[in-house]
Amino acid sequence: MSVPRPVFLLTDFGIGGYYAGVMRGVIAARAPGCAIHDLSHGIRPGHCREAAYVLEAALPFLPADAVVVVVVDPGVGSPRRILGLRLRERSLLAPDNGILTPFFEDPQAVLHQVDREDLSLPERSRTFHGRDVFAPVAASLATGLREEELGVRVADPFRLEIAAAREEPPGLRGEIVYVDPFGNLVSNIDRATLQSWRGDRRVRVSVKGAIVGPVVGTYADVAVGQLLAYVGSTGHLEVAVRDGRADTALGAGVGATIDVEVSA
């Protein structure tokens, strides 16, 4: 028998409980030898937009044959569907609540509904499909099941409205879409958008009206304790405090406005 595909878990289960652990148990029981990895269990409860951001940021770095299981599922037990998305050699499982939105436009994406009850655990609760449906289905995919076998094709998935940065003369306006564990504020302004707008002009970044400064290269380009703006590791404009926390320094979180303007 061949080695199972590696499985990555992304949930809002938090770090104190055993829910992720019991999902590991189900997968390990049904796919012995499977490498099971925690991508993160720290999505804020029910925050689908945050899960979508993390998934989009992380996916390119995961193994080409990874099975990624996303359980951020405030609608668990309701008639909401569960989706299986094939993206080249990778497989993603998630509730049909918009978390997979970043991949819908990819011409390679193929979307199926999970409607094979025989793949679930024999007793299926109405409040913990991570354990009872997602984990056993992931184990099946890891051991060779193909997406076509999950259920019918889906053409009308639920889509999240994902805000794009926009020109708002005289500047470029975006918003904070993720706060990382260091308190760094990640925006929806990507490198290409920033570059095409600014050209060769010197710019100044502000968050919620508070001036951060020009766009620099990395933390060490400013003094300890200073605010800085830079293009971060996901290619988005970020704001941080060197050796500190920008979220508390600026009183800003997800949804805060970020502006780029030409500096004097």
What is the contact surface with a copy of itself in residues (CB under 8 A)? 3, 6, 8, 10, 13-22, 24-26, 28-29, 32-33, 35-40, 42, 45-46, 54, 57-58, 61-64, 66, 74-78, 121, 125-128, 131-132, 180-182, 217-220, 230, 232-233, 238, 242-243
Pick 221 or 262: Cβ nearer a copy of itself: 221
- State the nearest-atom distance from the C-beta of 264 to a copy of itself, in Å: 27
Which one, 32 or 251, has the nearer CB to a copy of itself? 32
Nearest to 86 by CA among 35, 28, 145, 33: 145
- For residue 230, what is the DSSP state? E
Dihedral pair phi/psi, residue 129, rounded to 5°: -75, -20
Nearer to a copy of itself, 94 or 261 (CB): 94
Work out how close the CB of 197 gets to a copy of itself at its nearest, in angstroms, rounded to a whole number.
21
In whole angstroms, the minimum distance from the beta carbon of 75 to a copy of itself comes to 6
**Of residues 109 and 121, the one with the C-beta less far from a copy of itself:** 121
**Closer residue to a copy of itself (CB): 32 or 144:** 32
**Strand ranges, E, within 6-164:** 7-11, 36-40, 67-71, 82-87, 90-95, 109-113
Q: If you write DSSP's letter for every residue of 144-195 in order, what string do you get?
A: T--GGGT--B-S----------EEETTEEEEEEEEE-TT-PEEEEEEHHHHH
C-alpha span between 227 and 198 (Å, rounded): 21
Give the number of other CB atoms < 10 A from CB of residue 264. 5
Residue among 112 and 229 whose Cβ is closer to a copy of itself: 229
**Least distance CB 45 / a copy of itself (angstroms):** 6
- Closest distance to a copy of itself from the beta carbon of 218 (Å): 3
Task: List Cβ neighbours of 40 (8 Å cut-off, separation of 6 or more).
Answer: 10, 11, 54
Q: How far is the CB of 126 from a copy of itself (least distance, A)?
A: 4
Residue 158 CB: number of other CB atoms within 10 A? Answer: 17
Query: Which residue lies nearer to a copy of itself by CB, 112 or 203?
Result: 203
CB of residue 11 vs a copy of itself: minimum separation in angstroms?
10
Nearest Cα to 69, choosing from 19, 130, 21?
A: 130
